[in-house]
Copies of this chain bind each other. A is one copy, B any other.
Amino acid sequence: MRKITVGFLGCGNIGCGVWKLLHEFEKDLQHRSQVAFEVKKILVRDISKKRDEMIPAHLLTTEPKDVTDDPGIEMIVEFMGGEEPATRYMLRALQMGKTVVTANKMALALNWHLLQEAAQKHNAGLYYEAAVCGAIPIIRTTIDSLQANRIETMMGIINGTTNYILTRMSQEGSAYEDVLRDAQRLGLAEPDPTSDVEGYDAAYKLSILSSLAFHARVPFDVVYRQGISQVDAKDIAFGKELGYTLKLLAIAKREENVIDARVHPTFIPHEHPLSSVNGSFNAVFLHGHACQDMMLFGCGAGSAPTASAVVSDMLYAASRETPRHPTFRNTNALAENLEVTNDWHCSFYVRLSASDRPGVLAHITACLGNEGISIRNLMQRDAVDGHAQIVLITHNAGECAIHKALEAIDPNEAKVESMIRVEGK
């Protein structure tokens, strides 16, 4: 039995979950891996705070160096969240040659180049399965199981809060604000929900996933981002009628050396495997040139599922004699050989409120036609107050073209109420 000494950075919900899993499942873990983890120090902000788990007081410290600098600690597990001071502490631990396991998508997405550089320079392991999609083994799958693939598409529901909100809006026809309030009451959304509902959380994760998928750094700041706070229940209902489900998708595509990476509300056909991923579940759908379609589905958050991923990283690190590093350059810039485009191609759902008089439809279709955009589906609803609702779905078109076409529509004829991208067909 090999003993590995461990230090925690932080001990909130996830940290306590890892403590619990390591202790309750200790015998099984030792039997399976021939490794015994011993937690030696835990950095916390407040030693006297009440915790879910009975953690001996002598393990707690408020001094970061007690964890990062102790030569008697071989492995650091970081649960602090946020960019700093987490990044600084992890860098320090890597410089000391320690293995670092982290669940921190923000620190990783923003400072991966620094962390990876330190890991490689000091021959230390850096593992982050828990940073993306909780228990779902999407990081390890991308690194260990899809290396023989040119991954062309990755589309994920990688934020549970927004998926919970959109699922309930879709099932109940409720308004965004009402469901958000409910989610906050249930602890499924933060008091300040910005990071989730405006897509920051998903964009951090997509930066990590797409970098691994494309073997080239895709920095956070090139990820296009649009959240769900402006989603209108009306569009969810119209989409449903037309055979589509609305999801906040994180999408990364590659064609030759041009990529796009984007987070936005997206309609997908009811038959698409992502369409039935409901509530706070996560899933990543991908297409590789050899593996073809694949999807991984599971719990993207929560104390136990995240602990499952963290401990799997600890065991994975323990099973290797040399650390495993990704192969792309340590830079925070887009890889030299890649170009990122904001002019991606997909279908578009457009809802317009139009004056109910002859010639309006002709005007709209002309504006689209001028940009080479043709219509696949069109639905017109009875006029209320002299204004008809027109809903259309285009054939494949460019992002720039659709914007140009919609701007050309005379606001006296029709008002563009919403535009939602359509993927998956």
Structural contact, A148 and B308, CB atoms closer than 8 A: yes
Tell me the A32-60 residues at the B interface (CB within 8 Å).
32-34
Contact partner of A148 among B21, B34, B146, B322, CB < 8 A? B21
Complex Cα spacing A129 to B144, Å: 11
Residues of B within 8 A of A289 (CB): 304
A288 on interface, CB distance cutoff 8 Å: yes
Tell me the A228-243 residues at the B interface (CB within 8 Å).
none
Complex Cα spacing A312 to B25, Å: 30
Residues of B within 8 A of A135 (CB): 288, 290-292, 294
A110 on interface, CB distance cutoff 8 Å: no
A382 on interface, CB distance cutoff 8 Å: no
Tell me the A269-288 residues at the B interface (CB within 8 Å).
271, 273, 276, 281, 288
Contact partner of A147 among B32, B136, B147, B296, CB < 8 A? B32
A175 on interface, CB distance cutoff 8 Å: no
Structural contact, A297 and B298, CB atoms closer than 8 A: no
Complex Cα spacing A51 to B140, Å: 34
A307 on interface, CB distance cutoff 8 Å: yes
A425 on interface, CB distance cutoff 8 Å: no
A327 on interface, CB distance cutoff 8 Å: yes
A166 on interface, CB distance cutoff 8 Å: no
Residues of B within 8 A of A140 (CB): 140-141, 144-145
Structural contact, A297 and B299, CB atoms closer than 8 A: no
Pick from A148, A292, A296, A304 the residue with the most CB of B within 10 Å: A148
Residues of B within 8 A of A291 (CB): 135, 298-299, 304-305, 308-309
Structural contact, B295 and A298, CB atoms closer than 8 A: yes
Report the contact-size class of chain A (Cβ under 8 Å from the partner).
Answer: 35 or more
Contact partner of A129 among B145, B281, B294, B316, CB < 8 A? B145
Given A148-B312, A319-B324, also A292-B297 (CB < 8 A): no
Residues of B within 8 A of A315 (CB): 144, 147-148
A150 on interface, CB distance cutoff 8 Å: yes
A18: shortest Cβ distance to chain B, in Å? 9
Residues of B within 8 A of A146 (CB): 137, 308, 312
A154 on interface, CB distance cutoff 8 Å: no
A416 on interface, CB distance cutoff 8 Å: no
Given A276-B273, A291-B305, A320-B320, also A147-B33 (CB < 8 A): yes
Complex Cα spacing A299 to B292, Å: 7
Contact partner of A312 among B137, B144, B298, CB < 8 A? B144
Complex Cα spacing A309 to B148, Å: 8
A321 on interface, CB distance cutoff 8 Å: yes
Question: A195-213: contact bitstring with B at CB < 8 Å (1 yes, 0 no)?
Answer: 0000000000000000000
Complex Cα spacing A148 to B322, Å: 22
Tell me the A254-270 residues at the B interface (CB within 8 Å).
none
Structural contact, A25 and B150, CB atoms closer than 8 A: yes
Pick from A28, A146, A296 the residue with the most CB of B within 10 Å: A296
Residues of B within 8 A of A137 (CB): 137, 141, 144-146
Residue of B nearest to A281 (CB): B293
Structural contact, B308 and A288, CB atoms closer than 8 A: yes
Structural contact, B293 and A298, CB atoms closer than 8 A: yes
Pick from A33, A149, A291, A320 the residue with the most CB of B within 10 Å: A291
Q: Write the residues of chain A forming the contact surface with B, with a CB cutoff of 8 angstroms.
A: 21, 25, 28-29, 31-34, 129, 135-137, 140-141, 144-150, 215, 271, 273, 276, 281, 288-299, 302, 304-305, 307-309, 311-312, 315-316, 319-322, 324, 327
Offer 29 A-B interface pairs, CB within 8 angstroms, sorted by A: A28-B150, A29-B147, A29-B148, A32-B327, A34-B327, A135-B288, A135-B290, A135-B291, A136-B294, A137-B137, A137-B144, A137-B145, A137-B146, A140-B140, A144-B144, A146-B308, A147-B311, A147-B312, A273-B276, A289-B304, A290-B308, A291-B299, A292-B305, A293-B298, A293-B299, A294-B296, A294-B297, A295-B298, A297-B297
